[in-house]
């Protein structure tokens, strides 16, 4: 059985001073806590050079600035506002099922 590549979740994250960013991170962490190696979480931290570059790449794919905060999954914008935990879990479970087919 081949090992599946994990789903990459990226949160556009301005910093800990940004309450909506912190809330979105907490929501994602809660949604993925039981998903193990199937998902990988990365912060696109705007105050760091690599995060700024990644933000620019993701924004170019949208044709304009990506919302702050927002959730990208495998490079695609999925949520521009914080979703309910259960909705995010269903989305990720569906993507994991597709990846396993």
User: What's the pLDDT score for residue 96?
Assistant: 87
Note the pLDDT tens digit of each residue in 3-48. Answer: 567 899 999 999 999 999 999 999 999 999 999 888 999 999 999 9
Note the pLDDT tens digit of each residue in 41-76. Answer: 999 999 999 999 999 999 999 999 999 999 999 999
Distance CA 58, CA 8 (A): 13
């Amino acid at each position: 059985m081949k090992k599946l590549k994990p789903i990459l979740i990226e949160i556009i994250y301005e910093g800990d001073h940004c309450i909506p960013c912190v809330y979105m991170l907490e929501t994602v962490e809660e949604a993925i806590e039981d998903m193990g190696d199937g998902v990988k979480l990365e912060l696109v931290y705007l105050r760091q050079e690599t995060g700024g570059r990644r933000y620019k790449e993701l924004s170019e794919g949208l044709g304009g600035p990506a919302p702050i905060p927002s959730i990208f999954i495998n490079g695609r914008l999925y949520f521009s506002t914080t979703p309910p935990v259960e909705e995010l879990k269903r989305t990720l479970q569906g993507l994991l099922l597709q990846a396993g087919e």
